Amino acid sequence: MKDIDQTPANAGKFQDPAITADGSARATVPLSRPETLWFNTGTLCNIACTHCYIDSSPTNDALVYLTLDEVRRYLEEAEALDWPLTEIGFTGGEPFMNPGMIAMARLALERGYRVLILTNAMQPMMRPRVQAGLGDLVHDFGDRLVLRISLDHFDPARHDEERGPGSFARSIEGMEWLRDHGIRMAVAGRSLWHEDEKTVRDGFAQLYARHRFEIDAQAPGETMIFPEMDLRAEVPEITTACWGILNKSPESVMCASSRMVIRRKGTEGPAVVACTLLPYAPEFELGATLAEAARPVALNHPHCAKFCVLGGASCSA
Q: What is the pLDDT of residues 221-270, one digit of tens each?
A: 999 998 776 666 788 999 999 999 999 999 999 999 999 999 999 999 99
The span from the CA of 290 to the CA of 287, in Å, is 8
What is the C-alpha R_g of the chain?
19
- What would the mean pLDDT of 151-175 be, rounded to a whole number? 96
Q: Average pLDDT, stretch 99-121? A: 98
pLDDT at 4: 46
What is d(CA 225, CA 190) in angstroms, rounded to the nearest whole number?
Answer: 5
pLDDT of residue 235: 86
pTM for the full model?
0.93
Composition of the chain by helix, strand, coil, percent to 5? 35, 20, 45
Q: How confident is the model at residue 8 (pLDDT cuts 50, 70, 90)?
A: low
Return d(Cα 121, Cα 165) in angstroms, integer: 15
Confidence of residue 316 (pLDDT cuts 50, 70, 90): low
When pLDDT is cut at 50, 70 and 90, the band that residue 2 belongs to is very low
Backbone angles phi, psi at 306, to 5 degrees: -75, -40
What are the sequence ranges of the domains in the chain? 4-9+21-309
Which range (52-56, 167-171, 197-201, 260-264) has the least confidence?
A: 52-56
Position 317 confidence tier, pLDDT thresholds 50, 70, 90: low
Confidence check: pLDDT of 1 > 60:
no
Phi-psi bin for 63: left (phi > 0), alpha (psi -120 to 50), beta? beta
Please check the confidence at residue 5 and state whether its pLDDT lies above 50: no
Which region among 67-76, 180-189, 242-251 has the lowest average model confidence (pLDDT)? Answer: 242-251
Q: Backbone phi, then psi, for 156, in 5-degree steps?
A: -55, -40
CB 313 within 8 A of CB 226: yes
What pLDDT does residue 19 have?
A: 96
Residue 287 DSSP one-character state: E
Q: Which fold has domain 4-9+21-309?
A: TIM Barrel (3.20.20)
pLDDT of residue 12: 86
221, 223, 220, 134: which is closest to 183 by C-alpha? 134
